[in-house]
Structure 1
Amino acid sequence: MSSSEEDVAGGAPSETPPATAEIQAIADKIGGPLEEKENKRYPTFKATEYKSQVVAGTNYFIKVQVADDDFVHLRVFESLPQENKALALHNYQTSKTKQDQLAYF
């Protein structure tokens, strides 16, 4: 096993592919709680790209377009299936741009 394979096996975040329908569905479920925390409504809520990290469950880092050139980064935790817990918004960053890289936060 190469060192890069060890990094992936050790829980390093994935590459940053375009968002899929599954990732959009996760973002949609978190949109309401985020709007409540920020006390604002977002005119758009379109996931554009993401990373995932396998831990005791999965962390998703999702870049979401909320206006023309206004993005938020979400960290969403999905527990293991047998735990039967809801998706949780663990952290987020506002005032991001399309060019901002997704990184662990």
Structure 2
Amino acid sequence: MAHIGGFTDGLDATEETQKICDEVKDQVQERTKKTYEEFRAIQYRKQIVAGANYIIKVYVGGFSYLCVKVYQHLDGVCEVIDVQDHKKDDTIIPF
């Protein structure tokens, strides 16, 4: 459930969040200086602004996860804002 002006609670990833991950994968690899064979959206939180902010937990292989903060412009273009290392059981917390 969304809080006014805030992020939704954690939700299971959807086809839409996977498409966002596919779009920003190169940006994430550039920021982290790593190459990811796997890049699968697991969970996400969303905030509606002039566009949308997403924080997406992404499985990147082995025991590794990332939290990727993405801004989706009103025209649909996605931009990575930040990337953090994450663990499987970590809760998605806005950053």
With the length of structure 2 as denominator, give the TM-score of the two structures.
0.91
Alignment of 1:98 with 2:92, yes or no, is no
- Aligned with residue 67 of structure 1, among 61, 67, 70: 61
What is the root-mean-square deviation in Å for CA atoms of aligned residues?
A: 1.6
Is there any run of 5+ residues in structure 2 with no aligned partner, and where? none
- Aligned with residue 78 of structure 1, among 55, 72, 76: 72
* 1:1-105 superposed matches below 5 A: 8-9=3-4, 11-80=5-74, 84=75, 86-94=77-85, 96-105=86-95
- Residue 85 (structure 1) shift: 6.2
CA distance in 2, matches of 1:52, 1:39: 26
Partner AA of 1:104 in structure 2: P
Is there any run of 5+ residues in structure 1 with no aligned partner, and where? none
Larger radius of gyration: 1
- Percent identity reads 31
CA distance in 2, matches of 1:66, 1:21: 17
CA distance in 1, matches of 2:81, 2:59: 19
SS in 2 for 1:8: coil
Q: Which has the higher helix share?
A: 1
